[in-house]
Amino acid sequence: MIPNRPAIAWRDIGVPLAVLLAALALWEALVRWKNIPPYILPAPSVILAKLIEDRELLFSSLLVTLGVTVEALIVATVCGVALALLIAQSKWLERALLPFAITLQVTPIIAIAPLLLVYLQPGNAVLVCAFLVAFFPILSNTSLGLASVDFGLRDLFDLYRASPWQKLIYLRLPSALPQFLAGLRIGGGLALIGAIVAELAAGASGQGTGLAYRIVEAGFRLDIPRMFAALALISLSGLAIYGALAALSYVLLRGWHESARAQDE
Amino acid sequence: MTLGASAVRETQVTAPALVALRAVGKTFPSGLVALADYDLDVREGEFLTLLGPSGCGKSTVLRLIAGLANPTAGAIDWNAPQVKNNIGVVFQDATLLPWASVFDNVFLPLRLKGVAREAASPRIEEALAHVGLLNFSRALPRELSGGMRMRCAIARALVTRPTLMMMDEPFAALDEVTRFKLNDDLLALKRRFGATIVFVTHSVFEAAYLSTRIVVMSRRAGSIIDEIEIDPAIPRDDDYRSSRTFADVCRRASRALRVSIEEATP
């Protein structure tokens, strides 16, 4: 259907991958040449060795962090879309509810985390933090999408006397889909940040099992290679979440965002 | 104003009015008066064109008849209420659902009326066949040209078999060749379906080619400057386009249009 897709994929993945490998090689060479000790700057090979050596510990932590992030993102999606639909029903609800959502959004999550840790179990506090930061972009993008329906299409539905329910199902939800997916992509990245931030706050009090806690713990022990190893896993998690959501977006929107080629023989 | 061509009749032919606008006014909340004290009869079976400069209220007339806006004064009288409930509208823009196939776009009016997909299918295919899009029923709007998109919009308006079709500058954005072709196709469809058409345009030539009656509107709250009748019996083809009658209609409509513009600019 899209003939030159593999070429695009190769260019999009190959170029940054080549640059990354070059940077890693330079890093490795620099560390070896200058004899930098691993407790100051570990070489990539040392980090990789650490990743393999500590795999059980690190991967179980990775699963914890990813689990919390995905869980928070799902809850944030359900709540964000539900609230967006509610707000779309009336201006009064929007006036009543939106200020609270905005206040939660503009208050830095790092400042809320300690308080949540007072009231909640550490695991739940981390989940709530991740939820709070992921929720707002999904809410605001979905709201925007639901509100920005084409005027002509709105007239068309009025002409055929569509019920509010029909308008929602056949017009407003599909219209909102691109914006919702954009919100979801932002929310996915933020959920990971929220989870990490909350865990750092929790980790300072000596509790936690996620990747951020491994960083804090390794920092206390001056195990710099393990800090880097955990950091690498966090970066990869972020990339994986972004990639998965971008792929979802592509699958859902390609029909009407990818253009004319299919039919223009 | 007198015209040499006998085909252009000065006297009004009285066919029953499908819908009548009586002293209709439309003032927007901003205070802008789009229409004031406006009278118009839409006669059964005619091809009525509202011609006028932009901002003269012609689209407002169309929206009022379609029930997309309410008049702030006067009344809109319907000959038969079932006509009011089955109006087809083609907007300036094709206004298709971008995520839905051509088939699903044409299905929309029936779907909103609660008709099941299987039951609607033959009617959709018939409508698509009439506009020459049967082979494109699975295509998405983005894969179509502007003219094809407009055909899809016309098929969608036809699928409910409306008695009255309203068209708001449907071909304004198309190139001339496509426009001529669609004009001919529209006339063929009208012959086949016999619907009454109210057409809005700012093109004198398009109005003269398509219409059986042209109403030229003034920019001042839509008052009517001239009304031109064209014999429905004249075949609309290339000969007509180069005929004396066509030239006379165009001259008269252009003159009225000029008056309409000059009236508005003191």
Instruction: Convert the pLDDT of each residue in B84-133 to its tens digit.
Output: 888 999 998 889 999 999 999 999 999 999 999 999 999 999 999 988 89
Rg (C-alpha) for chain A, rounded Å, is 23
Give the predicted TM-score (pTM) of the model: 0.80
Instruction: Convert the pLDDT of each residue in A6-19 to its tens digit.
Output: 455 677 788 889 99
User: What pLDDT sits at residue A8?
Assistant: 59
Same domain, B111 and B147: yes
Whether residue A170 and residue B111 make contact (CB cut-off 8 A), yes or no, is yes
Whether residue A155 and residue B97 make contact (CB cut-off 8 A), yes or no, is no
A259 contacts in B (CB within 8 Å)?
Answer: 142-143
Query: Does the CB of B117 have a partner CB in chain A at under 8 Å?
Result: no
Summary mean pLDDT of chain A = 86
User: What pLDDT sits at residue B263?
Assistant: 72
Q: Which of B189, B201, B200, B198 is nearest to B161 (CA)?
A: B189
* Per-residue pLDDT at B2 exceeds 50: no
Looking at chain B, which residue has its C-alpha nearest residue A254?
Answer: B99
Same domain, B168 and B76: yes
* Per-residue pLDDT at A257 exceeds 70: no
Whether residue A263 and residue B144 make contact (CB cut-off 8 A), yes or no, is yes
Q: What is the assigned CATH class of domain A43-254?
A: mainly alpha
B68 contacts in A (CB within 8 Å)?
Answer: 155, 158-159
Whether residue B89 and residue A159 make contact (CB cut-off 8 A), yes or no, is yes
Dig out the tokens for A148 from the structure: 């920005």
Same domain, B155 and B176: no
User: What pLDDT sits at residue A208?
Assistant: 64
Report residue A78's pLDDT band, with 50, 70 and 90 as the boundaries: very high
* End-of-domain residue from the set B161, B177, B211: B161
Same domain, B107 and B227: no
Annotated domain spans of chain A = 43-254
Looking at chain A, which residue has its C-alpha nearest residue B91?
Answer: A152
Dig out the tokens for B20 from the structure: 């009548």
User: What pLDDT sits at residue A205?
Assistant: 60
Q: How far is CA B77 from the centre of its chain?
A: 19
- Three-state DSSP class for residue B227: strand
Instruction: Convert the pLDDT of each residue in A93-152 to its tens digit.
Output: 888 888 888 888 888 888 888 888 889 888 888 899 999 999 999 999 999 999 888 899
Q: What average pLDDT does this structure show over A218-224?
A: 89
Whether residue A156 and residue B89 make contact (CB cut-off 8 A), yes or no, is yes
The verdict on residue B91 lying in a domain is no
User: What pLDDT sits at residue A260?
Assistant: 30
Return the residue matching tokens 């931030």: A197
Q: Which of A181-185, B34-38, B55-59 has the lowest mean pLDDT?
A: B55-59
The verdict on residue B247 lying in a domain is yes
What length does chain A have?
265
Task: Using a pLDDT cut of 70, give the percent of chain A over it.
Answer: 91
Give the span between the Cα atoms of B201 and B214, in whole angstroms: 10
B67 contacts in A (CB within 8 Å)?
Answer: 158-159
Same domain, B144 and B63: no
Query: Does the CB of B143 have a partner CB in chain A at under 8 Å?
Result: yes
Instruction: Convert the pLDDT of each residue in B239-258 to its tens digit.
Output: 898 999 999 999 999 998 88
Report residue A258's pLDDT band, with 50, 70 and 90 as the boundaries: very low
User: What pLDDT sits at residue B202?
Assistant: 86
**CATH number of the domain residue B184 falls in:** 3.40.50.300
Please report, in angstroms and rounded to a whole number, the separation of the first and last CA atoms in chain A: 11
Please report, in angstroms and rounded to a whole number, the separation of the first and last CA atoms in chain B: 24
* Per-residue pLDDT at B83 exceeds 90: no
Locate all alpha helices (DSSP H) within A54-172, ordered by sequence: 55-89, 91-106, 109-119, 122-147, 151-159, 164-167
* End-of-domain residue from the set B161, B178, B196: B161
Query: Does the CB of B86 have a partner CB in chain A at under 8 Å?
Result: no
Q: How far is CA A224 from the centre of its chain?
A: 26
Range of the domain at B19: 1-86+162-266
Q: What average pLDDT does this structure show over A234-256?
A: 88
* Per-residue pLDDT at B213 exceeds 90: yes
Return the residue matching tokens 């879309």: A81
Report residue A263's pLDDT band, with 50, 70 and 90 as the boundaries: very low
Summary mean pLDDT of chain B = 87
Same domain, B51 and B62: yes
User: What pLDDT sits at residue A69?
Assistant: 93
Whether residue A159 and residue B87 make contact (CB cut-off 8 A), yes or no, is yes
Q: Which residue has the higher pLDDT, A243 or A8?
A: A243
User: What pLDDT sits at residue B264?
Assistant: 62
Decide: B27 and B72 in contact? Cβ < 8 Å: yes
A156 contacts in B (CB within 8 Å)?
Answer: 89, 91, 95, 108
The verdict on residue B36 lying in a domain is yes
User: What pLDDT sits at residue A262?
Assistant: 37
Whether residue A170 and residue B97 make contact (CB cut-off 8 A), yes or no, is yes
Whether residue B95 and residue A152 make contact (CB cut-off 8 A), yes or no, is yes
Give the span between the Cα atoms of B251 and B245, in whole angstroms: 10
The closest CB to that of A256, out of B67, B98, B113, belongs to: B98
Same domain, B113 and B227: no
* End-of-domain residue from the set B161, B189, B212: B161
Decide: B229 and B207 in contact? Cβ < 8 Å: no
Report residue B266's pLDDT band, with 50, 70 and 90 as the boundaries: low
The verdict on residue B1 lying in a domain is yes
Q: What average pLDDT does this structure show over A233-257?
A: 87
User: What pLDDT sits at residue A1?
Assistant: 41
- Residue A265 C-alpha, separation from nearest chain B C-alpha, in angstroms: 11
* Per-residue pLDDT at B4 exceeds 70: no
B111 contacts in A (CB within 8 Å)?
Answer: 170
Same domain, B188 and B251: yes
Domains identified in chain B, total number? 2
Q: Which of A150-164, B130-144, B214-228 has the lowest mean pLDDT?
A: B214-228
The closest CB to that of B142, out of A157, A160, A259, belongs to: A259
Instruction: Convert the pLDDT of each residue in B50-62 to its tens digit.
Output: 998 877 788 889 9
User: What pLDDT sits at residue A148?
Assistant: 85
The residue type found at A31 is: V
The residue type found at A245 is: L
Q: Per residue, what are the HEC states of B106-142?
A: HHHHHHHCCCCHHHHHHHHHHHHHHCCCHHHCCCCHH
Same domain, B78 and B168: yes
Whether residue B95 and residue A155 make contact (CB cut-off 8 A), yes or no, is yes
The closest CB to that of A256, out of B67, B87, B99, belongs to: B99
Instruction: For A117-140, give one letter per residue: b (16+ CB within 10 A) or e.
Output: beebebbebbbbbbbbbbbbbbbb
Looking at chain A, which residue has its C-alpha nearest residue B141?
Answer: A256
Same domain, B261 and B229: yes
Query: Does the CB of B139 have a partner CB in chain A at under 8 Å?
Result: yes
